Amino acid sequence: MDLLSILQIFDSAVRLATPLLFACLAGLFSERAGIFDIGLEGKILISAFFSAGVAVLTGSIWLGLIAGLAGSVLFSAMHGLASITFRGNQLISGVALNFLASGLTVLIGEAWFGLGGRSPGLKNAERFLPIELPFAESLSGVPIFGPIYKELISGHTLLVYVALLAVPLSWFVLYRTRFGLRLRAVGENPAAVDTAGISVIKLRYAAMLIAGILCGLAGIYLATGLGAGFGKEMSAGRGYIALAALIFAKWRPWYALGATMLFGLLEAVANRYQNIDLGGFIVPVQFMQALPYIMTVIILAGIVGAAIPPRAGGQPYVKER
């Protein structure tokens, strides 16, 4: 295997990992604040739909971006309303949102476009196109670094770079700001936060807002960056894989980057080499496709050690009994 093939696989891995990374960080903020977020899948789907749908109708990707974010934040707010204000069961609320997104996207899509829930294909002005970073072409002659820069670092859509920047930003917000400290505290011991005179409700809603924005970006990237248009159920389980990555990452931003990149890499390898010939013994494609899931089990069971969720996760906060 030459350098170019390796770079192309990594390049593909970065593209495939980006929606997972956004969704994983969304789950991270939400769960660190003590709200389980099974509804990542639904939020990805609804934002993918509104971003592509509005981009088609208005001809502008930026309006699509806003619509996608609005859809996802609205879903996040509904999850917040059910699980924070009304103290409902967070898992049930999340699952309900997934079902709602699955049905609503097809229903509205059929009403808008009459294409059975699919949106028309997006034209170039209606989607995020790859950005060629400066000097990519002129540096390509430089050994090792040139190809790495041209193939791997340059040539992604804007949202990929946003996702990569979101990782240090999340780390900074969570571990180096007062807001982050309080957010983490509210997921561990909300009563202590309340005693300190800080509103648990407000903090948790703030976390839901951030989760909504990040998850929205995942859906927008899927429909307007990676693909070109919405197709029904196009999230294809990525929200659940992001949840697995979140556990695997032990609810930490840098680990989340590593976990989602690993999932992306496994998928990229499975796409590239469907049947791997190991000197006479052929690894079948089905094994390659199952590999991400097998890896999840192995890593969770052995390598990563105990993954301890935030202590107050899943419990609505009740001030007094």
Partner 1 sequence: MTLMQKFFGAAATLALTAGAALADPAIIFDLGGKFDKSFNESGFNGAQRWAEETGGTFLEIELQSEAQREQALRRFAEAGANPIVTMGFAMSSPIEQVAPDYPDTKFATIDGWVQMDNVLSVGFAEHQGSYLVGMIAGMKTESNTVGFVGGMDIPLIRRFACGYAQGVIAVNPDATVISNMTGTTPAAWNDPVKGSELTRAQIAQGADIVYAAAGSTGLGVLQTAADEGILSIGVDSNQNHLFPGQVLTSMLKRVDVAVYELMSAGADMPTGFMGLDLSSDGVGYAMDEHNAELVSADMVAAAEAAKAAIIAGELVVHNYSDDDTCPVLNF
Summarize as ranges the residues that interact with partner 1 (CB under 8 A): 5, 8, 12, 15-16, 114-118, 121, 222, 226-229, 231-234, 236, 267-268, 271-272, 274-275, 285-286, 289
Q: Which is nearer to partner 1, 115 or 295 (CB)?
A: 115
Query: Nearest Cα to 84, choosing from 213, 211, 219?
Result: 211
How far is Cα 61 from Cα 150, in angstroms, rounded to an integer? Answer: 26
Q: Which is nearer to partner 1, 29 or 230 (CB)?
A: 230
Q: Which is nearer to partner 1, 116 or 168 (CB)?
A: 116
Q: Which is nearer to partner 1, 236 or 307 (CB)?
A: 236
Distances (CA, A) of 44 to 23, 51, 72, 269, 278: 8, 11, 7, 24, 38
Q: Give the nearest distance from C-beta 16 to partner 1 in angstroms.
A: 6
Q: Which is nearer to partner 1, 5 or 199 (CB)?
A: 5
Number of CB atoms found within 10 A of residue 197's CB: 6
Q: Give the nearest distance from C-beta 102 to partner 1 in angstroms.
A: 9
Q: Give the nearest distance from C-beta 68 to partner 1 in angstroms.
A: 16
Query: Nearest Cα to 33, choosing from 164, 173, 169?
Result: 173
Q: Give the nearest distance from C-beta 272 to partner 1 in angstroms.
A: 5
Q: What angle do CA 312, 317, 321 make, to 5 degrees?
A: 120
Q: Give the nearest distance from C-beta 219 to partner 1 in angstroms.
A: 12
Indicate the helix (H) or strand (E) that contains 287.
helix 285-298
Which bin fits 275, alpha (ψ -120 to 50), beta or left (φ > 0)?
beta
